[in-house]
Amino acid sequence: MVSKESCRNEIRAAIRQLSDRCLYSAAKWAGEQLVGIEQDSSNFTPSNTRFQRGSPSIRRRFSTNESISTPQPSVGFSQPPATPLPQEDDVIDGDLYLLAKSYFDCREYRRASHVLRDQMSKKSVFLRCYALYLAGEKRKEEEMVELEGPLGKSDAINRELVSLERELSALKRTGAIDSFGLYLYGVVLKEKGNESLARASLVESVNSYPWNWSAWSELQSLCTSIEILNSLNLNNHWMKEFFLGSAYQELRMHSESLAKYEYLQGIFSFSNYIQAQTAKAQYSLREFDQVEIMFEDLLRNDPYRVEDMDLYSNVLYAKEACAALSYLAHKVFLTDKYRPESCCIVGNYYSLKGQHEKAVMYFRRALKLNKKYLSAWTLMGHEYVEMKNTSAAIDAYRRAVDVNPCDYRAWYGLGQAYEMMGMPFYALHYFRKSIFFLPNDSRLWIAMAKCYQSEQLHMLEEAIKCYKRAVNCGDTEGIALNQLAKLHQKLGRNEEAAFYFEKDLERMDAEGLEGPNMFEALVFLATHLKTNKKFDEAEVYCTRLLDYSGPEKEKAKSLLRGIRMAQTGFPSMDMEHFPL
């Protein structure tokens, strides 16, 4: 385990270096982690306490403090060779650099790069290239609007990429490039579509300077499969754990990711970032109650946070907490209304209220702000499904899938939409796709089984197979067992049917449920056992039925009569029952 103090020192220096190079979001991230490290009590200054005053987590903080204060057993994590912090060439920075940086801060990127045109220090070169890159990006965005053709033409490209690539590759060849330059080189290569080279460059960058979170997240976006991730040759550093956590999450390996974050919480016990990421993972595991608590806590510590709040709104939506959702939407809107997340939250709110047109409008706005905002596409698809506009829904889902082909929700939505249109066979393909990405979700299997079961297809054997898979995946809603029993009954396989009815009964007993399914199971089991001459067991089920009122009671009575008759009516056959 690395010591907190060393972490703290590393981050402090890194923040300074990052913001000196105008890598602001990386600096921001590092700053969040810096405050996330639990403080030494000796270091407490009034300003520190002010930051934590009124927060309920203070109590938690002090209570955990005691438990952690004992030296932790290091869990197989060897102390990495400390990466030395690069020495700054501050002194020779010069006035021009200062001027360029202030231009940069005022978002006059081209001006900034022009100021640095003849500067040869690595730092200046980086800032010049970075400013040029951003200028190109800005121009690209503008051109995208200007050039928009009838068919969504968007051939706007960052016109600086070519020259940047040339310059950076030349620098790399001569070795006159630092880790920040490597990061920029990686970004440029990625934009140009050269993914493997981009990965190599980014790996080199994070190995030499691990504190640049932007580099890590670029690298993460290039790791689209676990094989790629495992093939990366990364030095051990605590930043790598952050990286792995987020990469695992993207690859839907939620428990692995949770383990990483749990480990990191040993040092960064108060990091909002880690808390949000943990909540995300828990959300994927459908632990909604836990996620809600985490987000509430997060919002108390950081009330103006917008990131990840769309996830929170999803949780609130799932729990149908209208008031809380509207409160969240209001707050977020006051903070920053032009964030895709904010629009998404409002969309969720309207959707919950059943005002689907408005919801669609807000999702659209979110998409206008960010065309590749995956969840907005999917949610919009859901809205269109609600509005019975299937073709629009299909379009939206398809876009989601094309943004990220691993989005099982959108695949599922596509399947659902086609099923709604009476094309179950066509829908099967999509269900298959969604199951491919999430094979352990019983809901998907049940949806597929229903498709097979539909009257148009009537492929019952296949439906049975799907339900069996659903049962194996731990079907929480108990649909699968009941359906399995019914299907077997329909196909005249009474033994199998009895088996599944019994199982279903056990499940309902365990969960304390009652209802028509229960009656059905009891009636079937009683009749089945009676015909198989297992009168004692049949009687047990009949007596259970007698507890309820309604037609089932009458049925049970007649069954019981039948059993008595069978037992007494044929004494010659059942002599042993009457030991006279």
**8 A C-beta contact, residue 80 and residue 236:** yes
CA nearest neighbour of 399 among 366, 421, 442: 366
Give the residue with the Cβ less far from other proteins, 118 or 155.
Answer: 155
CB of 156 to other proteins, least distance (A): 10
N-terminal to C-terminal alpha carbon distance within the chain: 81
Give the residue with the Cβ less far from other proteins, 369 or 392.
Answer: 392
Give the residue with the Cβ less far from other proteins, 91 or 151.
Answer: 151
Give the residue with the Cβ less far from other proteins, 163 or 355.
Answer: 163
Give the residue with the Cβ less far from other proteins, 49 or 391.
Answer: 391
- For the record, the structure tokens of 447 come out as 């949806």
The rounded distance, in Å, linking the Cα atoms of 150 and 546 is 71
Give the residue with the Cβ less far from other proteins, 422 or 439.
Answer: 422
CB of 457 to other proteins, least distance (A): 8
The rounded distance, in Å, linking the Cα atoms of 81 and 98 is 34
Give the residue with the Cβ less far from other proteins, 143 or 241.
Answer: 143
CB of 434 to other proteins, least distance (A): 13
CB of 99 to other proteins, least distance (A): 24
CB of 420 to other proteins, least distance (A): 10
Give the residue with the Cβ less far from other proteins, 141 or 509.
Answer: 141
Give the residue with the Cβ less far from other proteins, 362 or 418.
Answer: 418
CB of 467 to other proteins, least distance (A): 21
CA nearest neighbour of 206 among 188, 232, 225: 232
Where does 147-268 have alpha helices with state H?
Answer: 161-174, 179-191, 195-208, 213-221, 226-231, 238-250, 254-264
The rounded distance, in Å, linking the Cα atoms of 104 and 108 is 5
CB of 423 to other proteins, least distance (A): 6
CB of 18 to other proteins, least distance (A): 29
CB-based contacts of 445: which residues, under 8 Å, 6+ apart? 435, 466, 467, 469, 470, 473, 480
CB-based contacts of 259: which residues, under 8 Å, 6+ apart? none
Helices and strands (H and E) in the chain: how many: 31, 0
Can you give the binding site for other proteins, defined by CB under 8 A? 143, 146-147, 149-155, 159-160, 162-163, 166, 389-391, 394-395, 397-398, 402, 414, 418, 421-426, 429, 456, 458
CB of 164 to other proteins, least distance (A): 9
CB of 346 to other proteins, least distance (A): 24
**8 A C-beta contact, residue 566 and residue 530:** yes
- For the record, the structure tokens of 426 come out as 């066509």
**Other Cβ atoms within 10 Å of 105 Cβ, number:** 12
The rounded distance, in Å, linking the Cα atoms of 123 and 86 is 12
Q: In whole angstroms, how far apart are CA 191 and each of 178, 207, 440?
A: 20, 21, 35
Give the residue with the Cβ less far from other proteins, 393 or 560.
Answer: 393
Which residues in 191-211 are b (16+ Cβ under 10 Å) and which e?
Answer: bbeeeebbbbbbbbbbbbbbb
Give the residue with the Cβ less far from other proteins, 400 or 556.
Answer: 400
Give the residue with the Cβ less far from other proteins, 426 or 437.
Answer: 426
**Residue listed under structure tokens 């102390």:** 79
The rounded distance, in Å, linking the Cα atoms of 159 and 362 is 33
User: For the chain, what is the largest distance between any 2 Cα atoms, rounded to a whole number of angstroms?
Assistant: 116
CB of 460 to other proteins, least distance (A): 11
**8 A C-beta contact, residue 325 and residue 348:** yes
The rounded distance, in Å, linking the Cα atoms of 109 and 106 is 8
- For the record, the structure tokens of 441 come out as 């979700």
The rounded distance, in Å, linking the Cα atoms of 371 and 377 is 9
Give the residue with the Cβ less far from other proteins, 151 or 323.
Answer: 151
CA-based R_g, the chain, Å:
31
Give the dihedral of Cα atoms 248, 252, 253, 254; nearest 10 deg.
Answer: 100
CA nearest neighbour of 90 among 21, 164, 144: 21
CB of 424 to other proteins, least distance (A): 7
351 DSSP 8-state letter: H
- The values of phi and psi at residue 419, to 5°, are -65, -40
CB of 459 to other proteins, least distance (A): 9
Give the residue with the Cβ less far from other proteins, 222 or 401.
Answer: 401
CB of 422 to other proteins, least distance (A): 6
Give the residue with the Cβ less far from other proteins, 132 or 328.
Answer: 132
CB of 447 to other proteins, least distance (A): 18
The rounded distance, in Å, linking the Cα atoms of 470 and 473 is 5
